[in-house]
Amino acid sequence: MNADEFSDASGDDRLDASAKRLLDAWRTPTRWRYWSAVNNSEVGLWYVVASFTFFLFGGILALLMRIQLAIPDNDFLTADQYNQIFTMHGSVMMFLFAVPILEAISILLLPEMLGARDLPFPRLSAYGFWCFVIGGVFVCGSIFFGVAPEGGWFMYPPMTTEYQTGVGVDIWLLGLSFIEVASIAAAVELIVGVLKCRPPGMQLNLIPLYAWYILVVAVMILFAFPPLIAGDLLMELQRSLDWPFFDASRGGDPMLWQHLFWIFGHPEVYIVFLPSIALIAMIVPTFARTPMVGYGWIVLAAVGTGFLSFGLWVHHMFTTGLPAISIGIFSAASQAVAIPTGIQLFCFIATLLIGRVTKSVCLLFTLGGLATFIIGGLTGVMVAVAPFDYQAHDTYFIVGHLHYVLIGGTIFPIVAGVYYYYPAVTGKQLSERLGRYAFWSMLIGFNVSFFPMHLSGLLGMPRRVYTYPAELEVMTLNLISTVGAFVLAIGFVIFLFDVLRSKKNQPLAPRNVWNAGTLEWLAEVPDKPWGVRSIPIVTSRYPLWDQEGFVEDVDAGHFYLPDAEEGLRETLVTSVVDAEPIQCLRVPGPTFLTHFAAIFTGGVFILSTYHWYSAAAISGLFAFITILTWLWTGTAWIPEKQDKDVGRGVTLPIYVSGSKAVGWWAMFITMLGDMTAFISLVFGYFFYWTTHDDFPPDGSTGPGWIWPAVALLMIAIGYVATLAARKWNRQNHAAGFYAAIVCGVVCSLGGAAAVLYGPFTHHMDPTAHVYPAIVWVLTGWTALHVVLGVVMHVYCAARRAAGRMTARCDADIVNVTLYWHFLLLTTAITCLVIAGFPMVAR
């Protein structure tokens, strides 16, 4: 690889015809239409900028808190303001920075690492991004009106259900639920991206480590966020309709919220930590000039951490009076997770030891981050020991611990990543000298700020209290912390200045400036919008190091899809394990539909906050119409020809359906997340059974077994009708297809009505007790999903009638059938639980 050669910026006129066509297809829209872009390089960049903006906002809130805590009995902030600020600091840093930044960096870089031109669903990324921005501005804006949430980032009831009647809690619940839409959208995008959009030849043992980590993290998002969404739903129902899920006087239990929140909340911290470790896994081999040691061990670490992190949630609840056995089991898992976490650190250290390390700011931040993270990890092992946690719980010791792991494990590596990837994204380099100043200022400031917190915590300083008395004798420690916080902030200011300063007079960085070995460094300087000139065949983990003449071959268009004869955006889809090319996927281009979809979806959540339900319903209707329009016009196009020559003598189909298609995978993954939320609600039902001596309560009637049985039968008929519709569509038996759809619609709607009629006919009042409330939630959830399934039926019929779905091009009905598999399972579980369990329990 010759690092000195880089292409000319104004080289458009020197391109050959095929490259010109490719460039035209991928050209970024200009002027005001720029904002309609959906390509990963634009959306990813906006995402990064927006996430960092929220990060700065959260950081300023932190400084305000440190000013308030600098001296005892300070009156810089009132208790009320302080509560709002610490709640927003935690919520913003977690929901608006830590998770979005990983999605942002992944959307920006993952396609480049995989030599893909774009992710499989660019418009979904754009939709997620706009949802995130609208929701984030809405949630952050509340603090300027003094109505921000005050319940902490964990929002424990009964405080948030009985004692905080203002709009703040609703803003948190609905605003953040809305943002979680973006997270799940990104998870779908990233999982399908890693599994299906790798370059030919990149089999499982050649995947860049970043992609392994992101795959694990995206799967974690899929299983961690839905329980929180379920919890949000229950709490919002209690706040707006008075259904007593967390009200102990009517059979509810505040502990259910804690379980649901922490089933999300603990995996969450690994969700934000692993992607940063993934950045380190890309940086370390580059600066050690050697392949990563222990690739298989790192896969173990990523997958192992991902799994084990789901077995830790109760360690946030050690002091809630749970049985000793339960506490012990979660304490054990909390200790066990240190093993895979440690293994990957040893792999990094070993790589640095055997390599020839070159100095750089990236490596400084990496090593600083690892050292800081290890300290935080060790205090984490301390608090995983329950007896110690009884003492440290809710003190500043915990604040110290969590900031060591989050800033050391997440933020420092992200800063390292910014220094590392800045040239790839902008073509210019950041200053090594300023970087060193920023690093030492951050590292020293961070430790001076957060280390004393361990001590003040052990001396008994509680968290989340706006001031402390002088008698506690923690003033010196707090003053030191405050000074340190400002030194840390100065480091960030230097970093920010370096990123934002004008670099007009600075020469362009050479191509592959760090001499790295992975595909994202194929990027030309300045970068072209097409991602890669041609999609390469990969035979090594570090193709730029190992494959002879690789860059020249890519640039000369010797690999796949070097042309866009039809002027359309295309990328390759490959098989999941062996990465064999299976489809030439056409991806959609710029649109404003995603903005409207995000605005209207946001309207549902934001208007509901103020109880303007009719306006919210209208907004929901518009969102529904917009999304249907987007699907109708932008998905499952029937191509003008069946197959396409993608180069090198390979001809691939343009349209595939079933498990080879990316859309099928997206549906499958989305439904896994949906199922997880549903199972969380079912967990709630049984949780009430374990905490009450009589659940279902004596004397409660309903919902009986007849109506649930009728519902299950009718929805099962709807399911069979869906299967029949798929089959007859494939056989091109139009009459049969439409008949099956009509039968499916009628039976399913009947089933939805029946499932609701059970609790209705038994006069189950959801405000009277938690038992009727949870039954209504399960039946309502099911009915809603059935209605959605019916909409899908009608959509498929309309597609076929309009000639947009044929016997061969049947992705719509195939994906709808997949949805119905899950729907049948949901219905079966609901009916068995609400009808069967009362019989068994009595």
Partner 1 sequence: MTETSERSGVYSGVNGNDHGSAIWWIVAAPSVWAAHFLASYLTAAIFCAKFADSDRSAGEVQMAVMAYTVLAMVILAGVGWVGYRRHQSGHDGGPHDGDTRADQRRLVGLSTFLLSCLSAVATVFTALVLYFVGTCH
Whether the Cβ atoms of residue 72 and residue 469 lie closer than 8 Å to each other = yes
Whether the Cβ atoms of residue 817 and residue 726 lie closer than 8 Å to each other = yes
In whole angstroms, how close is the CB of 782 to partner 1 at the nearest point? 24
Q: Which stretch binds partner 1 (CB under 8 A): 83-91, 298-306, 445-453, 614-622?
A: 298-306
Out of 325, 802, 839, 840, the only residue in the binding site for partner 1 (CB under 8 A) is: 325
Give CA–CA dist 45/171, Å, rounded. 27
Q: Binding to partner 1 by residue 537, rule CB under 8 A?
A: yes
Out of 67, 147, 300, 627, the only residue in the binding site for partner 1 (CB under 8 A) is: 300
* Smaller CB separation from partner 1, 24 or 580: 580
Q: What is the DSSP string of 212-245?
A: HHHHHHHHHHHHHHHHHHHHHHHHHHHHHH---T
Q: Binding to partner 1 by residue 342, rule CB under 8 A?
A: no
Out of 200, 423, 620, 789, the only residue in the binding site for partner 1 (CB under 8 A) is: 200
Q: Which stretch binds partner 1 (CB under 8 A): 244-252, 468-476, 531-539, 743-751?
A: 531-539
Note every long-range contact of 481-484, with CB atoms under 8 Å and residues 24 or more positions apart, other chains counting: 481/66, 481/69, 481/448, 481/449, 481/450, 481/452, 481/453, 481/456, 482/66, 482/67, 482/69, 482/70, 482/449, 483/448, 483/449, 484/444, 484/445, 484/446, 484/447, 484/448, 484/449, 484/450, 484/452
Whether the Cβ atoms of residue 21 and residue 12 lie closer than 8 Å to each other = no
In whole angstroms, how close is the CB of 199 to partner 1 at the nearest point? 10
Q: Which stretch binds partner 1 (CB under 8 A): 321-329, 363-371, 628-636, 663-671?
A: 321-329
- SS3 category, 166: coil
Q: Binding to partner 1 by residue 669, rule CB under 8 A?
A: no
Query: Which x/- pattern over 550-589 shows residues binding partner 1 (rule: CB under 8 A)?
Result: -------------------------xxxx-xxx-------
In whole angstroms, how close is the CB of 421 to partner 1 at the nearest point? 24
Q: Binding to partner 1 by residue 331, rule CB under 8 A?
A: yes
In whole angstroms, how close is the CB of 118 to partner 1 at the nearest point? 21
Contacts for 403 with CB less than 8 Å, ≥ 6 apart: 376, 446, 450, 453
Alpha-carbon torsion (636, 637, 642, 647), positive or negative: negative
Q: Binding to partner 1 by residue 382, rule CB under 8 A?
A: no
Out of 303, 381, 455, 459, the only residue in the binding site for partner 1 (CB under 8 A) is: 303
Burial (CB count <10 Å: 0-12, 13-18, 19+), residue 434: middle
Size of the site for partner 1 (CB under 8 A): 55
Whether the Cβ atoms of residue 639 and residue 806 lie closer than 8 Å to each other = no
Out of 511, 541, 595, 793, the only residue in the binding site for partner 1 (CB under 8 A) is: 541
In whole angstroms, how close is the CB of 583 to partner 1 at the nearest point? 8
What's the distance, CA 473 to chain centroid? 42
* Smaller CB separation from partner 1, 173 or 207: 207
Give CA–CA dist 581/519, Å, rounded. 18
In angstroms, what CA-CA distances link 699 with 696, 758, 776, 835? 9, 16, 18, 16
Site for partner 1, residues 642 to 661, rule: CB under 8 A: 646, 648-652, 660
Give CA–CA dist 209/296, Å, rounded. 10
Backbone angles phi, psi at 582, to 5 degrees: -125, -15
* Smaller CB separation from partner 1, 195 or 775: 195
What dihedral do alpha carbons 190, 192, 195, 198 form, nearest 10°? Answer: -80
* Smaller CB separation from partner 1, 340 or 708: 340
In whole angstroms, how close is the CB of 686 to partner 1 at the nearest point? 9
Out of 159, 206, 371, 713, the only residue in the binding site for partner 1 (CB under 8 A) is: 206
* Smaller CB separation from partner 1, 172 or 212: 212
* Smaller CB separation from partner 1, 152 or 294: 294
Interface with partner 1 by CB under 8 A: which residues?
A: 200-201, 203-206, 291, 295-297, 299-300, 303-304, 306-308, 310-311, 322-326, 328-333, 335-336, 339-340, 537-541, 575-578, 580-582, 646, 648-652, 660, 690-691
